Amino acid sequence: MKKTVLIWLAIGLASFVLLPWHMTDDGLFDQGWIMDGVAATGLFGSLAGQWWLAPAGLALVIATILQLTIPEPVKRARLTLGTAVAGLFFMAVQGLIIVRAGPRVFEGLLTGDVIMAGQAGMGAGAGICAIALLFAATISLSQAGKGQGDAFVVSTIGLIIALVGIFVFFPVIHILVRAFEVDGGYSLTEFFPRFFHSDIWGLGCLIGPRSCGVAINSLFLGVMTGLGTTFLGLTFALIFTRTDFRAKTVLRVLTVLPIITPPFVIGLALILLFGRAGTVTEFFADMLGWEKTRWLYGFWGVYFAQLLSFTPIAFLVLIGVVQGVSPSMEEASQTLDADRWQTFRYVSLPLMRPGLANAFLLGFIESIADFGNPLVLGSGFNVLSTEIFFAIVGAVADPAKAAILAIALLSLTMSAFVAQRLWLGKKSYATITGKADSGQNAGLNPVLRTICYAVALPWAALTLIVYSMIIFGSFVKLWGYNHSFTFDHYIRAFGIDFSTGRLTGVAWDSFFTTLTISSIAAPLTALVGLSTAYLLVRQKFVGKDAFEFSTMLSFAIPGTVIGVSYIMAFNFPPIELTGTSIILIIVFVFRNMPVGVRGGIAAMSQLDKSLDEASITLGANSFTTVRRVILPLMGPAILAALTYSFVRAITSVSAVIFLVSAKHNMATAFIVGRVENGEFGLAIAYSAVLIVTMLAAILLMQLLVGTRRLRRTDRVQQTAKAA
């Protein structure tokens, strides 16, 4: 253990002496920074007048000396911990105060020419120093006896807290303080009347003809969508695991389709089907003489589109959980003379609670943070996410209003989160125990099966129709008006000049950027998400609830707010990232990480702790236990996290729109531009290509990750074939 600390300290020192402390314009591998007269590493920088860089190096040196000289382990650990934390603190403070441009904190604290000249953003040297100090601190903390002395666990917690702090809290604070801003200062008293204004929380729609406040609209929509998607997701999951339905693969693809659909496309397709001039509307108007109405525009349209879009998320969370419910329990119930309905109602369903709760929470949060559907279909039905967007980019920009609405949105999320915790309570839902269990899952009782079919199959059919429309739309000249067949849209987007081998299509650039960035972001997201889930389910530490909520934060904040706050926070030193592809990757990782966390938690709460304990008893450390025992059992959760974060990175719009730059443009930003332009054909053709690409990628991932074998065969009772 002492060795590990020393290794980290050595790495830190090496980077302090050898690597450029600041960001360099020409990149790390260009050697310009060495030649530049003033050597740019931490050590030479601090000798050359940038004295504020010294504390970090000093902390590394002192910590190393402490490690080598003090024999008594606990005292050594405590002193090292103190030194490393102090070093990190000084690094952060100097980074925030001494900047070349942009806002500084504690402006009056330090003055002088050298300081006013400022410094560029932190670079490789600073980054590695910070990591070294962080790990030296966390390992020492574990050596001092915290966290059951488990260095791996403490370091992971430390790293995740640091990452979430830097990439979630730090930017979000930039925008939330705006809520308290009044002319030339900050005020708490101004905040409350604005926050509790009837525009936000008004209940006018319940008692009269007026509109409700936007937060009430969002809340209502969120609860309805959460319930709806959980219910639909459950019916699909049950059909998959508890019936011998023949066309499961088709169903599987259909349930995944909406999730991989770029935004606006579902809304657009719904308008073309169910809008006032839509195909279905026209059909019923002609057949039955119904009035053509604009029912789609408003709450019902948004709700409809959200159900289509978010049911797959519920399904992805629930499928793992429903599969995981142990047959032994169900068999025990049946042996005790319960019928299949009673077994389902009193045994299976309660065991699915973590899945149901997480699916609901995700559906709720997705719904209130959703931006595309309300924008396209909302009409007079205003929700928080669109109001926030237009408070930032509308004709009258009002960041204070945006911040207040964002806080309203956060308070909704927090309430949902608390409600979910209360409902789950402190019961155990572990059903995968490692004990022999060769049983078969009970099939659904006939009534329930009929209900599931009756709900899920029409829904699947509807999805199928919507998607055929989309494919159809990409091959016709002008969707809705001129249905002559054409390849024009595809050629414009993805044309290749075969004589020169040049890619002439307008979409190629953004297509490759999108794929590259998403494939980098997806595994990172899964890694961060699942390690967080592991900590939350398996480890006990102080402030765990707050930690759990903070990991959900970035998901709950609408993309627009995240996008703008990222510009505010990362356009200036100490961390300057705007205009790079890194900022896109980071925004995806931390925005989508909660899905990994939720899925991971749901799956992991089913794994009995005795599995870990057995592994630890046999002498494995917690890292090995994670790798050899937990990970293999987490297949579906890993797959869900990978798939979802990959897909979300490709399809998200609102956060990305502020962060894309000329060199790193994303497909969705491109598509939105085309939709704004009214070029639906090109937009849909591009979307169709993205959908196919994502489908292929998902299938590939499924092959790579493999399926989890819980039992010798995952059979359903009275089923001839193994599923």
Partner 1 sequence: MKKLGLISAAALMASGVAAWADEISLVCSAEQDWCDQMVGLFEAENPDTEVLMVRKSTGETLAQVRAEAGNPKIDVWWGGTGDPHLIAAEEGLTQASGVDTSELLGWAQNMAEISNGRAVGIYAGALGIAYNADILTEKGIAPPECWADLEDPRFEGEIQVANPNSSGTAYTELATFVQLFGEDEAMVKLAAVGNNVNSYTKSGSAPSKAAARGETGVSIGFMHDMVNLASQGFPLKVVAPCEGTGYEVGAVSIIEGARNLEGAKKWVEFALRADIQSQAKDVKQFQVPSNSNAEVAPESPDLASIKLIDYDFATYGSSDTRSRLLARWDAEVGDPNPEQ
In the complex, minimum distance from the CB of residue 284 to partner 1, in angstroms, rounded to a whole number? 16
- Within 402-441, the residues that bind partner 1 by CB under 8 A are none
Instruction: Kindly indicate which of the ranges 83-91, 354-362, 521-529, 592-600 contains the residues binding partner 1, using the contact rule CB under 8 A.
Output: 521-529
Q: Contact with partner 1 (CB under 8 A): which of 428, 450, 482, 707?
A: 482
Residue 267 CB, nearest approach to partner 1 (Å): 12
Q: In whole angstroms, give the CA distance from residue 594 to residue 416.
A: 15
The residue whose two tokens read 């999951």 is 237
Task: Tell me, letter by letter, the H, E, C secondary structure of 167-188.
Answer: HHHHHHHHHHHHHHEECCEECC
Query: Which element (helix H / strand E) includes 485?
Result: strand 482-485
When asked if residue 359 is in the footprint of partner 1 (CB under 8 A), the reply is: no
Regarding 521 and contact with partner 1 (CB under 8 A), the answer is: no
Bridge partners (DSSP) of residue 496 are 503
Please identify, using beta-carbon distances, which residue of 239 and 666 lies nearer to partner 1: 666
Sign of CA dihedral 605, 609, 610, 613: positive
Among 63, 577, 602, 690, binds partner 1 (CB under 8 A): 577
Minimum separation from the CB atom of position 100 to partner 1 (A) = 8
Could you tell me the smallest distance in angstroms from the CB atom of residue 229 to partner 1? 25
- Among 35, 396, 703, 704, which residue interacts with partner 1 (rule: CB under 8 A)? 396
184 binds partner 1 per the rule CB under 8 A: no
Would you say 251 or 672 has its CB closer to partner 1?
672
* 719 CB neighbour count, 10 Å cutoff: 15
String marking each residue 243-272 x if it binds partner 1 according to CB under 8 A = ----------------------------xx
Does the footprint of partner 1 cover residue 181 (CB under 8 A)? no
3-state secondary structure of 50: coil
- Beta-bridge partners for 497: 502
**Residues in region 307-326 near partner 1 by CB under 8 A:** none
Whole-angstrom distance, CA of residue 350 vs CA of residue 325:
10
**Residue 49: how many other CB atoms lie within 10 Å:** 12
Residue closer to partner 1 (CB basis): 27 or 145: 27
Residues 267-306 that bind partner 1 (CB under 8 A): 271-272, 275-277, 294, 297
Stretch that binds partner 1, among 184-192, 313-321, 442-450, 577-585 (CB under 8 A): 577-585
Q: Which residues of 28-38 are buried (b: 16+ CB within 10 A; e: fewer)?
A: eeeeebeeeee
Question: According to the binding rule CB under 8 A, does residue 702 interact with partner 1?
Answer: no
Question: Which positions from 642 through 701 interact with partner 1, judged by CB under 8 A?
Answer: 657-658, 660-665, 669-670, 673-674, 676-679
Is 462 in a helix, a strand, or coil?
helix
- For the bound state, the minimum distance from the C-beta of residue 684 to partner 1, rounded and expressed in Å, comes to 14
Do 513 and 659 meet the contact criterion of CB atoms below 8 Å apart? Answer: no
The set of residues, in sequence order, having a beta carbon less than 8 Å from that of 137 and lying 6+ positions away, is: 80, 81, 84, 85, 88, 158
Q: What is the DSSP string of 352-377?
A: THHHHHHHHHHHHHHHHH--HHHHHH
Give the integer Cα–Cα distance in Å for 130 and 9.
Answer: 10
User: Binding to partner 1 by residue 495, rule CB under 8 A?
Assistant: no
Closest to 252 measured CA to CA, from 311, 306, 304 = 311
215 touches partner 1 by CB under 8 A: no
Q: Is 118 in the site for partner 1 (CB under 8 A)?
A: no
Smallest distance, partner 1 to C-beta of residue 13, A: 15
552 binds partner 1 (CB under 8 A): no
User: In sequence order, what are the residues at sequence separation of 6 or more whose Cβ sits closer than 8 angstroms to the Cβ of residue 445?
Assistant: 339, 340, 341, 344
Q: Identify which of residues 190 and 679 has a Cβ nearer to partner 1 in the complex.
A: 679
Q: Between 360 and 572, whose beta carbon lies closer to partner 1? A: 572
Among 5, 23, 81, 88, binds partner 1 (CB under 8 A): 23
Site for partner 1 (CB under 8 A): which residue of 394, 446, 632, 706? 394
Binding to partner 1 by residue 576, rule CB under 8 A? Answer: yes
Point out which span in 64-72, 243-251, 371-379, 630-638 binds partner 1 (CB under 8 A). Answer: 371-379
Q: Decide: helix, strand or coil at residue 122.
A: strand
Binding status of residue 568 toward partner 1 by CB under 8 A: yes
Alpha carbons 244 and 593: distance in angstroms, whole number = 34
Our finding on whether 128 is near partner 1 (CB under 8 A) is yes
Query: What are the structure tokens assigned to 466, written together?
Result: 């919507």
* Separation of alpha carbons 706 and 634, rounded Å: 11
Among 386, 554, 592, 615, binds partner 1 (CB under 8 A): 386
Contacts 24+ apart (CB under 8 A), 109-118: 114/49, 114/50, 115/52, 118/573
Are the beta carbons of 96 and 104 closer than 8 angstroms? yes
Binding to partner 1 by residue 485, rule CB under 8 A? no
631 binds partner 1 (CB under 8 A): no
When asked if residue 449 is in the footprint of partner 1 (CB under 8 A), the reply is no
User: CA–CA separation, 256 vs 249, rounded Å?
Assistant: 11
Instruction: Render 378-391 in DSSP notation, one character per residue.
Output: -TT---HHHHHHHH
Tell me how far apart the alpha carbons of residues 591 and 528 are, in angstroms, rounded to a whole number.
11
**Rounded CA gap, 72 and 78, in Å?**
10
Minimum CB distance to partner 1 smaller for 440 or for 578: 578
State both tokens at 585. 């990757």
Encoded one letter per residue, x for contact with partner 1 by CB under 8 A and - for no contact, window 26-45 reads xxxxx---------------
Half-sphere CA count of 102, side-chain side, radius 13 A: 20
Task: Out of 524, 649, 685, 688, name the contact with partner 1 by CB under 8 A.
Answer: 524
The least CB distance from residue 268 to partner 1, in Å, is: 10
**58 is a site residue for partner 1 (CB under 8 A):** no
Number of residues that bind partner 1 (CB under 8 A): 88
**Residues 6 or more apart whose Cβ sits within 8 Å of residue 221:** 299, 302, 303, 306, 367, 368, 383
In the set 380, 425, 501, 619, which binds partner 1 (CB under 8 A)? 380
* Residue span binding partner 1 (CB under 8 A) among the ranges 309-317, 336-344, 352-360, 523-531: 523-531
Residue from 567, 604, 641, 691 that binds partner 1 (CB under 8 A)?
A: 567
CB of 90 to partner 1, least distance (A): 19
396 vs 720, beta carbon nearer partner 1 = 396
